[in-house]
Structure 1
Amino acid sequence: MSKIELGEVQETLLIPLYCRAIESKKKNPKIKDEEAVQLIDKIDYDFSKFKQGKGSMVGIVARTSILDRETQNFINNYPDAIVICIGCGLCTRYKRLDLKNVYWYNLDFPDVIDTRNRLLSKNNENDPIFNIAKSCLDDTWPKDIKELNDNKKDILIIIEGVLMFFTEDEVKHLINIIKTNFIHQKVTIFAEIMHTIPSKFTKFHDTVNKTNATFKWGIRHAKDIEKLDSDIKYIEEWHYYDEFSFDDSALCHTLGKIPGMKNISNKIAHLEINPSN
């Protein structure tokens, strides 16, 4: 068993890891992450405290399904792109996708990257998959992207399970880091967005409340993120409730039909930053 030491927010990375593993063990799983199954058996941690997190389970399965699908679609369209996974945690998405000729960067705090380096490996040692041990609010992380100035490469940035733990000023700072460093090409962003209401009630969240992390930010509508910076553009969004049709839960079906309820759930926003325009 491997003992890990993580900061308060970093500890939340174990929630999606656990949920992906539990879903993967089902007879007919909606997602399949064998790496997650192996990892929860390797890590010395009391995962049982997340066992009652039914809402988190359904949400993370939906989130994973959306991001796997849309990331693969992006790669299919831009097979030579750069993909940057901000707040990567122990995400294993790159192992589930056909990466074509993509350069894949995982970015997270040093304690998280140290954990990744100990527990996760590439499919092949020659794969262009790299880890950056920095906070995404550190202005210098883009300099670690070797292909930064290759204006022929399209950029996809995935921000999953991160923004709700930031203040609004920190969200603005992250946007500014991206737009001031990736100035030669359009940047596509897939960002998980939390609504204002749940962002105020961490204590009622069915898994995060088992940690010392606290939600700090949410917005009423994903399009409202355009108000934070004139260079960011909202394109579309994918609601978790739209993925719940494959779930057996009658509650999910019922809640998804209540006006406004879909918008209050988390969603993935498809955004673009193109400072040259």
Structure 2
Amino acid sequence: MTATKVAFTDVKWTMLVTLHMRAMDSRQAEPVLGDRFAAEAERRIDYDFGSWRMRVTEGDRHLVTLRAKRLDTWAAEFLAAHPDAVVAHLGCGLDSRWLRLAPPPTVSWFDVDLPEVVALRRELYGDAEGYRMIASSVTDPGWVEHLPTGRPLLVIAEGLLMYLTAPHVAGLLSRLTTRAPAGQVLFDAIAPWVVPTSAMLSPLLGAFRMRWALSDVREVERWGLRHRDTETLLGHHERVPSTLVRSVYGVFARVPPVRDALRAFRFDF
């Protein structure tokens, strides 16, 4: 099978990073996520995943897989309770969440990302019953019209909202939650101190510069959502297969500013 050559830059490059991290995890004897689809997708992409630029990011791969696992677990709970749900997976990148969770055909699942990303996804994953890709920026208000109404809605935004501005986040969530009678929004968010820190990153890692942080869940509740859960990802450090990283994360988990640098949130509406 011929590999697809990819030359993503800027923020689109970050999805290659997270794909590589999930693929690395899948090759562990005791993986956190065990995403075999990520490993297969990586094999089908013509890109230097062994480059220095890629290797310098690998130390964070356990946080990425812990985050994906937490959101997968919450999403699976929602789909078990609502087999007729509509799912909007925002800024999906090259994530195989739809394949990992394998929802029933009664679920309508929509993966949303930029046209170049969706074009690559079509080569890697293809289409299937109950599954559709939407080629659009998530901040473009028009794409939400493709979502069915009148059914429970699950919104998943992993590794996305911190790259938007607060008005864009508020507008996006408002457009989505007003289209359904009820549902949940699952996302991760950074602490405020991470924003200026990310601005100091090397130009080689400039795609990771962030813009929106969440310090108080009441900010999101003002947009019409109800806070349900907050999880500190470092609080699940015992799942990390590396003894050294597990120990380091255990220490970090006792330092609130570091522990809360990246958290997962679940809101109802």
Amino acid of the structure 1 residue aligned with 2:126 = S
Alpha-carbon distance in 2 for matches of 1:27, 1:2: 28
Alpha-carbon distance in 2 for matches of 1:103, 1:128: 5
2:118 to 113, 120, 125: 113
Residue in 2 that maps onto 1:239: 232
Does residue 261 of the first structure (1) align with residue 266 of the second (2)? no
Amino acid of the structure 2 residue aligned with 1:2 = T
Alpha-carbon distance in 2 for matches of 1:209, 1:69: 33
Residue in 2 that maps onto 1:63: 67
Moved over 6 A (4+): none
**Residue 26 (structure 1) shift:** 1.1
Decide whether the 8 Å contact of 1:195 with 1:221 is kept in 2.
no
Q: Over the residues paired in the alignment, what is the CA RMSD in angstroms?
A: 2.1
Amino acid of the structure 2 residue aligned with 1:167 = T
Does residue 86 of the first structure (1) align with residue 84 of the second (2)? no
Decide whether the 8 Å contact of 1:108 with 1:134 is kept in 2.
yes
Decide whether the 8 Å contact of 2:225 with 2:267 is kept in 1.
yes
Q: TM-score, normalised by structure 1?
A: 0.86
**Are residues 161 and 205 of structure 1, via their aligned partners in 2, closer, same or farther at CA, if it must alter by over 3 Å?**
farther
**Are residues 50 and 221 of structure 1, via their aligned partners in 2, closer, same or farther at CA, if it must alter by over 3 Å?**
farther
**Residue 222 (structure 1) shift:** 3.9
Q: Deviations over 1:92-118 (max 9, x none)?
A: 011111412211110111111111112
Residue in 1 that maps onto 2:164: 166
Q: Deviations over 1:59-107 (max 9, x none)?
A: 1110111011111111111111111100011110111114122111101
Decide whether the 8 Å contact of 1:23 with 1:32 is kept in 2.
yes
Q: What SS class does the counterpart of residue 245 from structure 1 fall into?
A: helix
Decide whether the 8 Å contact of 2:21 with 2:58 is kept in 1.
no
**Residue 213 (structure 1) shift:** 4.6
Identity %: 22
Residue in 1 that maps onto 2:205: 210
The equivalences for 1:16-95 within 5 A come to: 16-48=18-50, 49-95=53-99
Decide whether the 8 Å contact of 1:81 with 1:155 is kept in 2.
yes
Residue in 2 that maps onto 1:271: 267
Q: Deviations over 1:98-153 (max 9, x none)?
A: 4122111101111111111122235xx4x2100011111111111112x22xx2x2
Alpha-carbon distance in 1 for matches of 2:10, 2:231: 28
Gaps (5+ residues) in structure 1? none
Gaps (5+ residues) in structure 2? none
**Residue 224 (structure 1) shift:** 3.4
Alpha-carbon distance in 1 for matches of 2:123, 2:78: 29
Alpha-carbon distance in 2 for matches of 1:20, 1:205: 23
1:199 to 195, 199, 204: 195
Amino acid of the structure 1 residue aligned with 2:249 = C
Amino acid of the structure 2 residue aligned with 1:163 = L
Alpha-carbon distance in 2 for matches of 1:168, 1:161: 15
